[in-house]
Amino acid sequence: MDFGRVEFSKLSDINFKLPKEPYANSKVLQGRPIAHPKFYVGLAKWGKKEWIGKLYPKGTKEKDFQTEYQKHFNVIEFNSAHYKLPCDEDVQRWLGKADGSDIIFCPKIYQGISHFGSLSDKQFLTDVFVQTMYKFGKHLGPVFLQVSDRFSPKRKEELFKYLATLPAELQFFLEVRHPDWFVSPAINELVDTLQKLKTGFVITDTAGRRHAAHMNITIPKTMIRFVANDRHSTDFQRLDEWVSRIKYWVESGLEEMYFFMHSLDETNAPGLADYLVKGLNEHCNAGLKEITYIDEAQ
């Protein structure tokens, strides 16, 4: 993911410290832990050929990436749905490989809905997309709507009306990117609206757009999209801080956490995700699967 990319030489000059806890989170998190919070950590794709012989067995074919991926991760940021409306054949193929696993799909809404034209005339496409999502059954996690960098608060009414039309039976999250969303009064109105609509707010932690790591929780669930910088030392410092913040949220009543690891070179993503998993298991009793490598190389 290129969003917020910064030259490698400038990373040490960036303040990666996470923002303070927003006051509005106290309206959502009740201040005490629930019995069994759920933790999901995954990547944005099934695999890369460079993972073969390290993460996946030697000789693994691309058609088998999903099967191998599910041995290590319990969730996928499902971007395939963003670039092409899935058909029944696609869904049945993915579900066939998911059978017997605990994998959860978190689809990004189709770009024909989110990135082109007005949201106000996308009811038909949305209905088609939503009906397809229902077919994932028990393997469907939250669905997230990402609006483009150009989608500013000037279009807030269009956005809020669209969100209100989405079916309550599915859990939706929203990701905004235009900088004006992250300053008052826009951020306050957005958070209030998402709370009322029971819609989650995606937190995006990337080097060059620090305001997108806003830390607002609008439902007792969170979705975090983390963009690492190819195992730069700051990646590990940032992940350590995330473990601390997630621990605080869990102790305050967070019910579900979805964390998606991105890296400028996705070859590095599994190792970074494993580092996070180990931290969550140690400090949050997350019970997540840890990666089993084929050899010592990561």
- pLDDT tens, residue by residue, 42-99: 999 998 899 999 999 999 999 999 999 999 999 999 998 999 898 899 999 999 999 9
The architecture CATH gives domain 18-284: Alpha-Beta Barrel (3.20)
The domain ranges of the chain are 18-284
Q: What does the pLDDT look like over 172-201, one tens digit per residue?
A: 999 999 999 999 999 999 999 999 999 999
Out of 89-98, 156-165, 266-275, 288-297, which region has the weakest mean confidence (pLDDT)?
288-297
Determine the pLDDT at residue 294: 81
pTM of the predicted protein model: 0.96
Q: How far is residue 192's CA from residue 186's CA, in Å, rounded to a whole number?
A: 10
What does the pLDDT read at residue 6? 82
Q: Which residues of 246-272 are buried (b: 16+ CB within 10 A; e: fewer)?
A: bbebbebbbbbbbbbbbbbebbbbbbb
Interval 89-119: pLDDT, tens: 999 999 999 999 999 999 999 999 999 999 9
pLDDT at 297: 44
Q: What is the mean pLDDT of residues 1-27?
A: 88
What's the pLDDT score for residue 169? 95
- On average, the pLDDT of the chain sits at 94
Q: What pLDDT score was predicted for residue 295? A: 61
